[in-house]
């Protein structure tokens, strides 16, 4: 593929999934295949020009930040991970967010003054990716903006669905958990129907934690079929994929902790797993919240099973997670037209 034709170069920011078209995803998945092959065959794949990726994470992360750093390093990039900016950056001295972004990625008179060539941002406030993009001269990647979206997680999820389930068309996808605050659920609902035809969603949650009206309206406008359920009912045997998520208790700790018992009846148990077809797959964006085992979205047996070598073939969230590095390598490669 001629990289000059890449749709990613025309608009290199990754802010929200409504911005993307099927051609973005197809190009991304081809590039991911290429990254995996290059890795298997030779030294791998490296940028010729020196570039620096900066991560700016105001919220906790285990996977997204480290996989971006690993992806960048695999491509021969330099990396800077800003330490705990909520506590340690000059914002605690009253500096505006815009001035901080201008420092890291604003226009520079000379490349020698440059700190970052791309900024990966996670923040609890939903408008931060847009605000960052409005003052940055380098691409901004939204790595999670509050309860809104997490586009690159959904890139990983959709790539993983194609590889693990074997197709993107005619899938019945159940999404269960805190859909109201779960940014990975929202991003997946926007993204999957852009590459898969005949997608049908069933959103399963307590009414106070159901999928936002904005996403439902978008799906309706685009003719995507979805149902909203408060319980599993008879849906489990019909699903091709069950996407399980945790209660996002950090969004409103008091209120959401009080709702935890209301979500507990939806947790995945060995009995519920048995109701899924043998070919169905269970995804989870991780982390699984095991802090109070009886309130976790997944029973401890299933967590242990998923880590075991001879696991039930339906419990695939670590395989899903392992695509994080190559998909993010591919994204960086397309953004920089390398």
- Specify the residue, 106 or 174, whose C-beta has the smaller distance to ligand NCD: 174
Residue 38 CB, shortest distance to ligand NCD, in Å, is 25
| Residue bearing tokens 């500096």 | 95
Cα 254 to chain centroid distance, Å, stands at: 26
By CB atoms closer than 10 A (0-12, 13-18, 19+), residue 76 is middle
**Candidate residues 183, 186, 249, 314; the one interacting with ligand NCD per rule CB under 6 A:** 183
Task: By CB under 6 A, tell whether 196 contacts ligand NCD.
Answer: no
By CB atoms closer than 10 A (0-12, 13-18, 19+), residue 302 is buried
Active-site choice (63, 114, 163, 229)? 63
Task: By CB under 6 A, tell whether 64 contacts ligand NCD.
Answer: yes
Residue 61 CB, shortest distance to ligand NCD, in Å, is 6
Size of the site for ligand NCD (CB under 6 A): 12
Q: Report the candidate in 74, 68, 53 with the shortest Cα–Cα distance to residue 138.
A: 53
- Touching ligand NCD, residues 281-320 (CB under 6 A): 285-287
**Residue 158 CA: distances (Å) to CA of 177, 207, 327:** 19, 26, 10
Task: By CB under 6 A, tell whether 180 contacts ligand NCD.
Answer: no
DSSP E strands in 48-114: the ranges are 52-57, 78-82
Give the angle subtended at the CA of 162 by the CAs of 157 and 167, to the nearest 5°.
Answer: 135
Active site residue 284: no
- Specify the residue, 24 or 246, whose C-beta has the smaller distance to ligand NCD: 246
Q: What is the 3-state secondary structure (H, E, C) of 188-251?
A: HHHHHHHHCCCCEEEEECCHHHCCCHHHHHHHHHCCCEEEEECCCCCCHHHCCEEEECCCCHHH
Q: How many CA atoms within 13 Å lie on the side-chain side of 307?
A: 5
- Specify the residue, 6 or 153, whose C-beta has the smaller distance to ligand NCD: 153
- Specify the residue, 106 or 182, whose C-beta has the smaller distance to ligand NCD: 182
Residue 108 CB, shortest distance to ligand NCD, in Å, is 31
**Candidate residues 12, 105, 139, 144; the one interacting with ligand NCD per rule CB under 6 A:** 144
Task: By CB under 6 A, tell whether 184 contacts ligand NCD.
Answer: yes
Q: Are 191 and 228 in contact (CB under 8 A)?
A: no
Active-site choice (16, 51, 150, 281)? 150
- Specify the residue, 128 or 246, whose C-beta has the smaller distance to ligand NCD: 246
Residue 195 CA to residue 136 CA, distance in Å, equals: 30
Task: By CB under 6 A, tell whether 149 contacts ligand NCD.
Answer: no
Active site residue 222: no
Active site residue 255: no
Which pairing describes strands 52-57 and 118-123: parallel, antiparallel, or unpaired? Answer: parallel
Active-site choice (4, 93, 307, 309)? 93
Residue 186 CB, shortest distance to ligand NCD, in Å, is 10
Q: Which two tokens stand for residue 293?
A: 């085992």
For the annotated catalytic residues, the residue numbers are 63-64, 93, 122, 150
Q: What is the contact surface with ligand NCD in residues (CB under 6 A)? A: 63-64, 144, 150, 153, 183-184, 245-246, 285-287
């Amino acid at each position: 593929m001629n990289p000059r034709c890449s749709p990613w170069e025309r608009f290199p920011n990754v802010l929200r999934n409504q911005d993307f078209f099927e051609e973005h995803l197809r190009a991304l998945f081809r590039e991911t295949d290429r990254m995996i092959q290059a890795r298997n065959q030779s030294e791998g794949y490296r940028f010729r020009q020196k570039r620096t990726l900066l991560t700016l994470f105001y919220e906790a992360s285990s996977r997204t930040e480290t996989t971006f750093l690993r992806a960048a390093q695999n491509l021969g990039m330099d990396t800077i991970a800003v330490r705990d900016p909520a506590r340690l950056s000059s914002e605690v001295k009253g500096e505006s967010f815009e001035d901080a972004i201008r420092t890291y990625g604003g226009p520079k008179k000379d490349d020698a003054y440059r700190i970052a060539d791309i900024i990966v941002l996670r923040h609890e406030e939903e408008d931060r990716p847009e605000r960052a993009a409005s003052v940055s001269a380098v691409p901004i990647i939204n790595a999670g903006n509050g309860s809104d979206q997490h586009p690159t997680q959904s890139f990983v999820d959709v790539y993983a669905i194609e590889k693990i389930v074997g197709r993107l068309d005619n899938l019945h996808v159940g999404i269960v958990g805190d859909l109201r605050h779960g940014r990975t659920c929202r991003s997946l609902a926007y993204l999957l129907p852009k590459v898969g035809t005949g997608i049908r969603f069933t959103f399963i949650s307590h009414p106070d934690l159901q999928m936002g009206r904005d996403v439902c309206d978008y799906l309706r406008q685009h003719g995507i079929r979805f149902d909203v359920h408060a319980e599993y009912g008879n849906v489990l045997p019909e699903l091709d994929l069950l996407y399980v998520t945790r209660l996002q208790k950090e969004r409103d700790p008091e209120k959401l902790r009080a709702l935890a018992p209301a979500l507990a009846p939806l947790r995945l148990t060995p009995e519920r797993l048995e109701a899924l077809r043998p070919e169905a797959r269970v995804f989870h964006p991780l982390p699984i919240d095991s802090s109070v085992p009886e309130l976790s979205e997944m029973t401890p047996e299933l967590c242990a099973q998923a880590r075991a070598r001879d696991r039930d073939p339906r419990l695939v969230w670590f395989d899903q997670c392992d695509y994080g590095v190559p998909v993010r390598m591919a994204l960086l490669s397309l953004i920089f037209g390398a």
